[in-house]
């Protein structure tokens, strides 16, 4: 009989019981999904992105369905860091699951360091994910690019947070670049403990009856199965260039999708858009990965990471 399967993975000193997380912005603050499955099953929970001050987000309409995916331009609507710590974090902190807080700036990159300094004092926070790649807000560099589209700006943003936040630091990268490996290397050099990729691809959709964009802000972020081949390719490219762990995401709907990312080099995966369609998707994927390892007589999760045969 095969011994117990070890699904655990680690990065930056943070240990996850299994490699399946839920992606920021698709799982709220956890409570909404607690009636569907035991949240303690998750490897980690990544919160909806938090900013220093409350944000109302972008005007409606801000979501629409597309072939094999969806467009969203939520604009990081959130109650701000103070309300999050007071009203949202207590529930998450009692679960016994690593809580990774996603943070973003509203224009001033210094806000990342301010948020990092605040969260360093909060023991329930296991790690921070720097969302420097959301295409639906204005946190851009002087050149008009997102921080994650500029290696130097990426380096400086991470370095500023690394100086004040001593726990694991993850950086979420944008696919809307010519070479994502270049940005990943800058993140690694600046002290990021891991990189998560990919955020949404920019896209748009038009209502041919009204001849108007289906999204009020015109351009939005594309997610779902439509972007998965791009995401898997980018994980594979980055895996060959950096030494820090990769968290893969982008259109993961089931176990097979998750395994593609892991074989390409991801140490962990994040389930996003699938949560809107099947609220129990992440739990099902955890069980599916364990079954795959057992079937293939693999005892340790780490043996599967980057095991792609070329």
Annotated active-site residue in 39, 52, 130, 134: 134
Nearest to 104 by CA among 151, 145, 147: 147
**Inter-residue contact 65 to 95 (CB < 8 Å):** no
- The token duo for 45 is 């929970």
Known catalytic membership, residue 64: no
**How far apart, in whole angstroms, are the C-alpha atoms of residue 9 and residue 18?**
6
Work out the burial of residue 256: count CB atoms within 10 Å of its CB; fewer than 13 is exposed, 13-18 middle, 19 or more buried.
exposed
Residues annotated catalytic, as ranges: 134
């Amino acid at each position: 009989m095969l011994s117990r399967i070890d699904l655990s993975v680690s990065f930056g000193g943070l240990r996850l019981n299994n490699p399946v997380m839920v992606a920021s912005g698709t799982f709220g603050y956890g409570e909404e999904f607690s009636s569907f499955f035991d949240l303690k099953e998750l490897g980690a929970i990544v919160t909806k992105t938090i900013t220093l001050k409350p944000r109302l987000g972008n005007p409606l309409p801000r979501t629409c369905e597309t072939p094999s995916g969806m467009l969203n331009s939520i604009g990081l609507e959130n109650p701000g860091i103070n309300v999050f710590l007071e009203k949202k974090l207590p529930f998450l902190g009692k679960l016994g699951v690593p809580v990774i807080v996603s943070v973003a700036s509203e224009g001033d990159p210094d806000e990342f360091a301010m948020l990092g300094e605040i969260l360093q004092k909060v023991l329930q926070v296991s790690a921070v994910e720097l969302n420097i790649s959301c295409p639906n807000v204005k946190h851009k560099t002087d050149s008009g690019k997102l921080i994650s589209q500029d290696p130097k700006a990426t380096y400086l943003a991470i370095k500023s947070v690394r100086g004040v936040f001593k726990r694991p630091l993850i950086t979420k990268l944008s696919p809307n670049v010519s070479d994502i490996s270049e940005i990943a290397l800058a993140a690694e050099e600046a002290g990021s403990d891991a990189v998560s990729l990919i955020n949404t691809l920019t896209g748009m959709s038009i209502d041919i009856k009204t001849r108007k964009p289906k999204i009020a802000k015109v351009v939005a972020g594309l997610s779902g199965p439509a972007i998965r081949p791009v995401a898997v390719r980018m994980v594979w490219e980055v895996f060959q260039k950096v030494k820090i762990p990769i968290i893969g995401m982008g259109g993961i709907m089931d176990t097979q999708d998750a395994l593609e990312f892991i074989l390409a080099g991801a140490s962990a995966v994040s389930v996003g858009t699938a949560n809107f369609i099947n609220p129990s998707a992440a739990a099902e994927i955890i069980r599916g990965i364990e079954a795959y390892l057992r079937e293939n007589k693999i005892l340790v999760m780490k043996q599967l990471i980057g095991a792609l045969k070329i």
